[in-house]
Chains A and B, each alone.
Chain A
Amino acid sequence: MTVTASASEARTRPVQVWLLVWASALAIVLVTFLLQDSLPWAVNYPSSAVVPVADWVSALMGWIKSNLSWLTRSITAVLGVPLDFALNLLAKNFKFGHGADTVILPRLSWVGVCAAAYLAGHAVGGRKLGILVGGCFLYIALFGQWTSAMLTLALISIAVPFCIVTGLFAGIWAWRKPWAERLIVSPALDLMQTIPTFAYLIPMLLLFGNSPVSAMIATAIFATPPMVRATMLGLSRVPSEIDDFSEMAGCTARQKLWRVLLPSARPTLMVGVNQVIMLALNMVIIASMIGAGGLGYDVLLALRALKVGEAMEAGLAIVALAIALDRLSQAIAHNNAKGHVHQETNPVFWRRYPNLALAIAILVVTTLLGLFLPAFAAVPKAITFTTAPLWKAAVNWVTINFFDMIEAFRVALILNVLNPVRAFCEGFPWLGAVFLLGLAGYQLSGLRLAALVAVLTAFCAVTGLWEKTMATVYLCGISAFIACLIGIPIGLMASRSDRFEKIVTPVIDTLQVLPSFCFIIPVVMLFRVGDVTAMIATVAFAVVPAIRYTNHGIRQVPPALIEAAKVSGCTPRQTFFRVQLPLALPEIMLGVNQTILMALAMIIICAMVGTRDLGQEVFIALSKADSGRGIVAGLAIAFIGIVADRLFNAWTAKARARLG
């Protein structure tokens, strides 16, 4: 009796203590803010004390560039060979010789590629998938995006195998050597996941120039982490009995890895491959800024010239490509997870692989036909459509008829929501932020987290980027907040109604595979450039995890607990609020965490529509090839992500521990 009483006292007391601590901390920050005239250095970081990290980084990059050019050039040369081959095969033509005696071997015929896409879909997922995948390719052809799309596809097809092999080996290494995982691989993966896509481009641009090769390297680096994680996860999930079996069969270490563990982990590995493909597509689009070409470049050009119709067309082609690649690789992963089924073996190649054989035959025949019939070589102009005027007309119609409404909405949003929050954030004392975040870190996990959070926050101020950092935090924070406000209720509804879930799932699946670029296009048509556009695009991009995790969190509450609640006489309302919601909370918070990270990634890309934050800093650095400035700004963005991520994770871990 006394024991329980004192235990509960001990449990309540720290809460009160923490309340007191937080109250006084907030008071201190408020005082700092009010005293900003006498303590200016505590609010705005003094420009005289800025540490010139950017200059150091620039110097380092300059040194690397001038001293290691032999290395970067040879890398370019080596990687250029397969890349050129893929580009020629899919998009350009093979040219041998010069001048008059140039021999031209044509690229693969579009008819053949569409047919092959249909057959690939048919082989892994039946006729329905075949029609979907083939249809996506046909769409790209008919809407006049063929060459650009094939450029993009060629880059992906070279980058992805590279990612898979690198990721596999890094994953194996991390799995074998726990110290490597703890000290090198995990921190590197965390950093890579939070560094914005833009920041990858700058060093690549500097080292490898403005070329498809540097775009491919940036893509390969960006898209590798999921493969590393999938490999580590897959290997650690192999049942211990299979591990034991391989030992008892007398496998050597190498036989065990390659013949037992990796094949057993194949379903998980294939999920990683799917993610690699989608990330590579996303990055290839963004890497158009450093010479990737393809669909992303079309969007970029159109956006710069504010040609919404063209941007929309290219954007839709990206969507078609994304859906085709995603569904195809998911079907393969799904087949792997289901396991193998025996079938009649046939020694004849074309009988054993009828789809593959047919696809090769069609490709060869149509490509050869293309030598004589131009309609097979390039999509004939006569059968292509363009929807650009249509989109333009639609936008014009909307702007003519609804201009006042949209404008009123936009201005109201800016004046009443965005500007006050922005002013609050940008005026927030840097010292206060370091202090409060450190305190939060201490409460949630301890001194180590507190130190990490405080140091990372201080970095943003010390490098002289405080105002831009807070501008990023403000836009990211508002967008993530609105995304949660929309996403969590949708997730809750989806979790309570199977019919609603059936409608929501394909929508968020599609939203998730779309490269971030695509979200900007329709919004910019209506709201033109500025913070509102950035916010809306970010909300649309970041809403997916909030929906998905909420739905999943509620649905994974064990049915036995719900039955127990019902038997104890809970009304459906009570069951929901007192059993399901509290149990799902950690999962929901994980979704919120993901939403924040995705919002951060998107906000940076929105620099293209004229925000004034760290993303713009990177964007400017990119156009000036100023590596130091870009990398430091990129690091600052990554640090915002890491701080948010670590605090949320610590909080979720605590909540999880409490739920047991």
Chain B
Amino acid sequence: MTDRTEQVPSQSGKDDRPVKLACRNVWKLFGSNAANFIRERDGKASMAEIAAAGLVGAVRAVDLEIRQGEIFIIMGLSGSGKSTLVRCMSRLVEPTHGKVEFEGKDLLKISDAALIELRRHRMGMVFQNFALLPHLNVLENIAFPLSIQGQDRPTREARAREVIELVGLRGREQFYPRELSGGQQQRVGIARSLATKPEIWFLDEPFSALDPLIRREMQDELMRLQTMLHKTIVFITHDFDEAIRLADRIAIMKDGEVIQIGTPEELVVNPATDYVAEFTRDVDRAKVISARGLMRACDGSEHGGTVASDAKISSFSASIVAAGKPFAVVNGTGKPIGEVTPQAVIDLLAGIDRSGTSA
């Protein structure tokens, strides 16, 4: 898997942002005596061994690192263990084995009091079905995590009004959850999780319960918030299109295992397994693949324009075809590093594979 991914020019490889949250060989097994089972095997077990011991492996041998400020998406179908994994990361579910490191400190070893402190100030979570408290109005719901911390009413309500403004719910402060639409309810959920100014933000299928149109609107809203707030985001979804729209990196899960981690482009260009390939088959490649991915060495012909190396093909496909000449690809400092030909773009758009090398 690794050798194939390395062939692709990768952004994740040279990412020097600090690691915010890491899973080191995290396991969650259900069944009696699961902890002993995995400890005796030194944190290694095959599917067959787990089944033979009468256990169920919800999360198996997960290793991943989430960097500060990135949107990290965990993608998998229902039952793949993604929800359990994200609950292991926040210790809502106690992992059976392994380490969960928050800024290098093992979360599984800290005291209950320290965990409560951590959750109160540094973690936030948004839920699929909103999990709003039915007996509190919008303002009280959003101020709830602050009131739990013991903040006085004026302080917490002032902060709640700030985030209400941020998510565009002004005028609904006195409404109760059942009076709001699904989209509005999730805005409340988002506002509530942001009220404590968390550093790491867990979003558990936040838009899955919404209509497609509202879902898209909320995805845009999330991107807008992220450009302002720069949170470290762990986002769970079963929708690959959503993952591609939002992700810096995606981890694909199946049967409790992470089978590939990479940027959307890496997954599309170099799927590690047939399972991943199946997901990426219907993806609009022009929106995922960047200029760098179609780049070839300059052969000296005249250039019709320049594009940044990380610009998606769809952003310049019309102009390159109209120009009928190759575009120079430049890196961050404006230095040309190669070129993209109109023919390559047309082939990509038409789904024709001329390279003959990749599958």
**A255 within 8 A of partner (CB):** yes
The 8 Å CB contact of B125, one of A244, A259, A340, A345, is A244
Please judge, given known A-B contacts A249-B145, A250-B148, whether A241 and B174 are in contact too, CB under 8 Å: no
| B145 near A345: Cβ-Cβ < 8 Å | no
Please provide the 8 A-B residue pairs with the shortest distance between their CB atoms, ordered closest to farther. A250-B120, A339-B178, A340-B176, A241-B131, A249-B145, A250-B119, A245-B131, A342-B174
Tell me the nearest residue of chain A to B147, going by C-beta. Answer: A259
**A242 within 8 A of partner (CB):** yes
| B129 near A340: Cβ-Cβ < 8 Å | no
The 8 Å CB contact of B119, one of A249, A259, A339, is A249
What residues of chain B lie closer than 8 Å to A338, measured between beta carbons? 178
Tell me the nearest residue of chain A to B202, going by C-beta. Answer: A248
| B133 near A260: Cβ-Cβ < 8 Å | yes
| A342 near B178: Cβ-Cβ < 8 Å | no
| B119 near A239: Cβ-Cβ < 8 Å | no
**A229 within 8 A of partner (CB):** no
Please measure, in the bound complex, the distance between the C-alpha atom of A291 and the C-alpha atom of B228, giving whole angstroms: 72
Please judge, given known A-B contacts A263-B133, A339-B178, A342-B175, whether A248 and B124 are in contact too, CB under 8 Å: yes
* With A245-B127, A250-B117 already in contact, 19 other A-B pairs whose C-beta atoms are closer than 8 Å: A244-B125, A245-B131, A247-B92, A248-B90, A248-B92, A248-B125, A249-B119, A249-B148, A255-B148, A259-B148, A260-B133, A263-B134, A264-B135, A266-B134, A266-B135, A340-B134, A341-B178, A341-B179, A342-B137
Tell me the nearest residue of chain A to B124, going by C-beta. Answer: A248
**A571 within 8 A of partner (CB):** no
| A251 near B131: Cβ-Cβ < 8 Å | no
B236 to chain A, nearest CB (A): 13
- Count of residues in A whose CB is under 8 Å from the partner chain: 24
What residues of chain B lie closer than 8 Å to A247, measured between beta carbons? 92, 119
Q: Which of A563-604 contact B (CB under 8 A)?
A: none
A339 to chain B, nearest CB (A): 4
Please measure, in the bound complex, the distance between the C-alpha atom of A424 and the C-alpha atom of B176, giving whole angstroms: 63
What residues of chain A lie closer than 8 Å to B196, measured between beta carbons? 249
What residues of chain A lie closer than 8 Å to B125, measured between beta carbons? 244-245, 248
B190 to chain A, nearest CB (A): 13
List, sorted by A's number, 12 A–B pairs whose CB atoms are closer than 8 Å: A242-B133, A244-B125, A244-B131, A245-B131, A248-B193, A250-B116, A250-B117, A250-B118, A251-B116, A259-B148, A264-B134, A343-B174
**A6 within 8 A of partner (CB):** no
Tell me the nearest residue of chain B to A247, going by C-beta. Answer: B92
**A252 within 8 A of partner (CB):** yes
A622 to chain B, nearest CB (A): 45
Binary flags per residue of A245-278, CB closer than 8 Å to B gives 1, else 0: 1011111100100011001101000000000000
| B133 near A264: Cβ-Cβ < 8 Å | yes
**B27 within 8 A of partner (CB):** no
Please measure, in the bound complex, the distance between the C-alpha atom of A333 and the C-alpha atom of B97, giving whole angstroms: 46
| B123 near A248: Cβ-Cβ < 8 Å | yes
What residues of chain A lie closer than 8 Å to B137, measured between beta carbons? 340, 342
Please measure, in the bound complex, the distance between the C-alpha atom of A239 and the C-alpha atom of B129, giving whole angstroms: 9
| B131 near A250: Cβ-Cβ < 8 Å | no
| B177 near A339: Cβ-Cβ < 8 Å | yes
What residues of chain A lie closer than 8 Å to B120, measured between beta carbons? 249-250
| B178 near A345: Cβ-Cβ < 8 Å | no
| A345 near B92: Cβ-Cβ < 8 Å | no
**B87 within 8 A of partner (CB):** yes
Please measure, in the bound complex, the distance between the C-alpha atom of A247 and the C-alpha atom of B116, giving whole angstroms: 8
Please measure, in the bound complex, the distance between the C-alpha atom of A259 and the C-alpha atom of B135, giving whole angstroms: 10
Please measure, in the bound complex, the distance between the C-alpha atom of A247 and the C-alpha atom of B148, giving whole angstroms: 11
B21 to chain A, nearest CB (A): 14
What residues of chain A lie closer than 8 Å to B219, measured between beta carbons? none
Please measure, in the bound complex, the distance between the C-alpha atom of A510 and the C-alpha atom of B116, giving whole angstroms: 51
Please measure, in the bound complex, the distance between the C-alpha atom of A259 and the C-alpha atom of B146, giving whole angstroms: 13
Please measure, in the bound complex, the distance between the C-alpha atom of A263 and the C-alpha atom of B134, giving whole angstroms: 8
Please measure, in the bound complex, the distance between the C-alpha atom of A454 and the C-alpha atom of B123, giving whole angstroms: 58
What residues of chain A lie closer than 8 Å to B129, measured between beta carbons? 239, 241
Binary flags per residue of A231-246, CB closer than 8 Å to B gives 1, else 0: 0000000010110110
Q: Which of B174-200 contact A (CB under 8 A)?
A: 174-179, 193, 196
**B149 within 8 A of partner (CB):** yes
What residues of chain A lie closer than 8 Å to B118, measured between beta carbons? 250
Tell me the nearest residue of chain A to B115, going by C-beta. Answer: A250
What residues of chain B lie closer than 8 Å to A252, measured between beta carbons? 116
Please judge, given known A-B contacts A248-B124, A250-B119, whether A263 and B135 are in contact too, CB under 8 Å: yes
Please judge, given known A-B contacts A244-B125, A248-B125, whether A239 and B131 are in contact too, CB under 8 Å: yes
Please measure, in the bound complex, the distance between the C-alpha atom of A339 and the C-alpha atom of B180, giving whole angstroms: 12
What residues of chain B lie closer than 8 Å to A264, measured between beta carbons? 133-135
**B72 within 8 A of partner (CB):** no
What residues of chain B lie closer than 8 Å to A263, measured between beta carbons? 133-136
The 8 Å CB contact of B135, one of A251, A255, A340, is A340
Please judge, given known A-B contacts A241-B129, A249-B144, A250-B149, whether A341 and B87 are in contact too, CB under 8 Å: no
B185 to chain A, nearest CB (A): 12
A181 to chain B, nearest CB (A): 21
| B116 near A339: Cβ-Cβ < 8 Å | no
Tell me the nearest residue of chain A to B193, going by C-beta. Answer: A248
A334 to chain B, nearest CB (A): 14
Please measure, in the bound complex, the distance between the C-alpha atom of A384 and the C-alpha atom of B124, giving whole angstroms: 66
Binary flags per residue of B144-187, CB closer than 8 Å to A gives 1, else 0: 11001100000000000000000000000011111100000000
What residues of chain B lie closer than 8 Å to A342, measured between beta carbons? 137, 174-176, 179
**B10 within 8 A of partner (CB):** no
What residues of chain A lie closer than 8 Å to B145, measured between beta carbons? 249-250
What residues of chain A lie closer than 8 Å to B175, measured between beta carbons? 342
What residues of chain B lie closer than 8 Å to A266, measured between beta carbons? 134-135
| A251 near B178: Cβ-Cβ < 8 Å | no
**B306 within 8 A of partner (CB):** no
What residues of chain B lie closer than 8 Å to A255, measured between beta carbons? 148
Tell me the nearest residue of chain B to A249, going by C-beta. Answer: B145
**B226 within 8 A of partner (CB):** no
What residues of chain A lie closer than 8 Å to B116, measured between beta carbons? 250-252
Please judge, given known A-B contacts A247-B92, A248-B119, A250-B120, whether A339 and B174 are in contact too, CB under 8 Å: no
Please measure, in the bound complex, the distance between the C-alpha atom of A342 and the C-alpha atom of B121, giving whole angstroms: 30
Binary flags per residue of A303-346, CB closer than 8 Å to B gives 1, else 0: 00000000000000000000000000000000000111111010
**B5 within 8 A of partner (CB):** no
Please judge, given known A-B contacts A339-B176, A340-B176, A342-B176, whether A251 and B148 are in contact too, CB under 8 Å: yes
**B314 within 8 A of partner (CB):** no
What residues of chain A lie closer than 8 Å to B119, measured between beta carbons? 247-250
Interface core residue of B92, B130, B134 (most chain A CB under 10 Å)? B134
Interface core residue of A248, A338, A339 (most chain B CB under 10 Å)? A248
B4 to chain A, nearest CB (A): 37
Binary flags per residue of B98-119, CB closer than 8 Å to A gives 1, else 0: 0000000000000000001111
B195 to chain A, nearest CB (A): 10
Q: Which of B59-92 contact A (CB under 8 A)?
A: 87, 90, 92
Q: Which of A371-400 contact B (CB under 8 A)?
A: none
Please measure, in the bound complex, the distance between the C-alpha atom of A249 and the C-alpha atom of B116, giving whole angstroms: 8
| A244 near B92: Cβ-Cβ < 8 Å | yes
What residues of chain A lie closer than 8 Å to B317, measured between beta carbons? none
Please measure, in the bound complex, the distance between the C-alpha atom of A263 and the C-alpha atom of B177, giving whole angstroms: 14
What residues of chain B lie closer than 8 Å to A249, measured between beta carbons? 119-120, 144-145, 148, 196
Please judge, given known A-B contacts A242-B131, A245-B131, whether A341 and B176 are in contact too, CB under 8 Å: yes
B288 to chain A, nearest CB (A): 32
Please measure, in the bound complex, the distance between the C-alpha atom of A239 and the C-alpha atom of B128, giving whole angstroms: 12
A398 to chain B, nearest CB (A): 54
Tell me the nearest residue of chain B to A267, going by C-beta. Answer: B134
Please measure, in the bound complex, the distance between the C-alpha atom of A338 and the C-alpha atom of B134, giving whole angstroms: 10
A192 to chain B, nearest CB (A): 30
What residues of chain B lie closer than 8 Å to A339, measured between beta carbons? 134, 176-178
A242 to chain B, nearest CB (A): 5
